[in-house]
Amino acid sequence: MKIAVFSTKVYDREYFEKYGKDELFDFTFFETSLSAATVNLTHGFDAVCVFVNDKVDDETINGLASNGVKLIALRCAGFNNVDLESAKKNKIKVVRVPAYSPEAVAEHAMALILTLNRKTHKAYNRVREGNFSLNKLIGFNLYKKTLGVIGTGKIGAAFCRIGLGFGCKIIAYDKYPSEELKTSGVEYKTQHEVLEQADILSLHCPLTPETKHIIDAEALTGMKEGVMIINTSRGALINTGDILDGLKDGKVGYLGIDVYEQEENLFYKDLSESIIPDDLILRLNSFPNVLITAHQAYFTKEAMTEITITTLNNIKSFKKGELLENEVS
């Protein structure tokens, strides 16, 4: 079975070759992302394997179908970058990795909180330069702070457990509240109440038409002055223009993001010698109370192993004509 793997980095190839060597898979690795402009590369392949910033829209899927591709294997949980209606129309199956070490993302969210709060990144740089001053490095105790969580799926649940361990009061919103989390001390409220009462807000919901720009000017109006907002889910949950206004007027006291609305043009690339044309990311980077990481929350050995093995099993099930446990429909 011939599989074209797009948006490939050195570590992707390493893990696929390590865990797929005993299977009858013929992988071809492309560094470029999949889109309508690159779909011609899929000619002669049975399946494509794609990641979060590959653009699998209607035009791309029509090209895949013309080239004989029968399977789109996502090596991630999110599928908002795939036109599912077009895939169905073209009789192309779509599979994903629904969960891969949710603790990895949850732990990274807490790392963003701790770094922003205690300014360890700034302290590190100061000490390296021989500056041992504590000026402007003051933080606050997480203990007894109200931690708001939007989305309590596997990642959100893992984050709640971490927050409880710090002695935080956890309030959460989800369409489907978890009885287990309720028992452990998580208090479910309306989305409005969570936004209104949280000292720290962490987003762990998928990107859907309903959740796009869940944090915008209107949402910020009802939030606490100086609120900390953390996003390790999908960039478009936050309206970047509105969050910049919130940072400027002090409504947002801290912002930690591992995802960004226009990240497909930036993340996973070395642009250190380039002129970055994205004014919004440059403005975000200019704020001392903003911390940005380049979609690395998932990036642990455990998660990479789980992503690879699940993706290979998805492809194997398709090849054998078995029930696709992780099919997206």
Which of the residues are catalytic? 234, 263, 295
Looking from the CA of 233 toward its CB, the CA atoms found within 13 Å total: 29
Quick check: 172 and 182 in contact, CB under 8 A?
no
How far apart CA 82 and CA 114 sit, in angstroms, is 34
How far apart CA 291 and CA 285 sit, in angstroms, is 8
Mutual orientation of helices 10-19 and 301-320 as an angle, nearest 10°? 60
Rounded to the nearest 5°, which phi and psi values hold at 236? -75, 5
Cβ neighbours of residue 323 closer than 8 Å, sequence gap 6 or more: 317
Q: Where are the alpha helices (DSSP H) in the chain?
A: 10-19, 58-66, 84-89, 102-118, 120-128, 154-165, 179-184, 191-197, 217-221, 240-248, 279-285, 301-320
Cβ neighbours of residue 20 closer than 8 Å, sequence gap 6 or more: 27, 308, 312
Secondary structure (3-state) at 196 = helix
Nearest residue to 25 via CA among 322, 326, 309: 309
Secondary structure (3-state) at 290 = strand
How far apart CA 40 and CA 28 sit, in angstroms, is 14
How far apart CA 299 and CA 303 sit, in angstroms, is 6
Between CA 11 and CA 17, with CA 15 as vertex, the angle to 5 degrees is 115
